[in-house]
Amino acid sequence: MRILFVCMGNICRSPSAEGVFRKLATERLPEMSLEIESAGTHDYHTGNPPDRRSIQAAARRGIDLSGLRARTVTDEDFERFDLILAMDRENLALLHQQAPEAHRERIRLFMEFAPDAATRVVPDPYYGGANGFEEVLDLLEEAAEGLLQSIADAKGTSR
């Protein structure tokens, strides 16, 4: 299974989601063959590492984002990835506009996998304080747990 996490610039939310999900999947479903990446709907930061605050917040939770580099969603991504998970409704709409109609069913909000969460979007912490990055990680961890359970259930694998 191939999963792509998407936000606007691919330096805060989506690389954090990639890191969180990769760590959980490696720990809980090591036998599962998963391809996990992240990208942005805009090319503001292409080639850059994640925001230092994202790197620092993730590192405090044992997640290394330092090797990731921002990239932009490509037309090929819609065919290549089985699931494309947007961090918010704006990026969801942009992905739906860019995707060929045949692949739009692959695009969802990541927070759909956290049905008990108080929000359906992951807020952008870029212009906020350090606490915003911690809150984003809390949301991403909750959605990652739900996504992992969904994959395990679909594959008939216990976690």
Is 13 an annotated catalytic residue? yes
Structure tokens at 105: 């069913």
Q: Torsion-angle region of residue 47: left (phi > 0), alpha (psi -120 to 50) or beta?
A: left
The DSSP code sequence of 58-125 is HHTTT---TT----B--HHHHHH-SEEEESSHHHHHHHHHHS-GGGGGGEEEGGGG-TTSS-SS----
Q: Is 51 exposed, middle or buried (0-12, 13-18, 19+ CB in 10 A)?
A: buried
Residues 136, 17: Cα–Cα separation, whole Å:
9
Is 124 an annotated catalytic residue? yes
Select which of 13, 22, 53, 71 is catalytic: 13
Is 82 an annotated catalytic residue? no
Select which of 51, 77, 88, 124 is catalytic: 124
Q: Which residues are catalytic?
A: 7, 13, 124
